[in-house]
Amino acid sequence: MKIKVYLEPSDEGGYTVIVPSLPGCISEGETKEEAIKNIKEAIELYLEPVEDDLLSISNAEELELAI
């Protein structure tokens, strides 16, 4: 999977990374490498299904969509 991210220098030093396609998915790091490592982890956590949410939808029909 490829996801576009934006890496920008922070005013306080280091870097901030945002993922426009995943609202609220933001991370930072002292170096570019650290910021990229941190945003990869944030993306994985963002996309990870939450088991409690899935179990509470008893009447729902599960579908897979290609976008």
Report the chain (67 residues): mean pLDDT per 10 consecutive residues: 94 95 96 97 87 63 76
pTM over 0.75: no
Cβ contact 31:15 at 8 Å: yes
Residue with tokens 């944030």: 42
| Cα distances (angstroms) measured from residue 35 to each of 2, 23, 54, 55, 57 | 17, 18, 31, 34, 35
C-alpha dihedral, 45 to 49 to 53 to 55, nearest 10°: -150
Q: How much is the pLDDT for 42?
A: 96
Q: How much is the pLDDT for 4?
A: 96
Q: How much is the pLDDT for 9?
A: 97
Q: How much is the pLDDT for 18?
A: 96
For residues 15 and 28, what is the distance between their CA atoms, to the nearest angstrom? 5
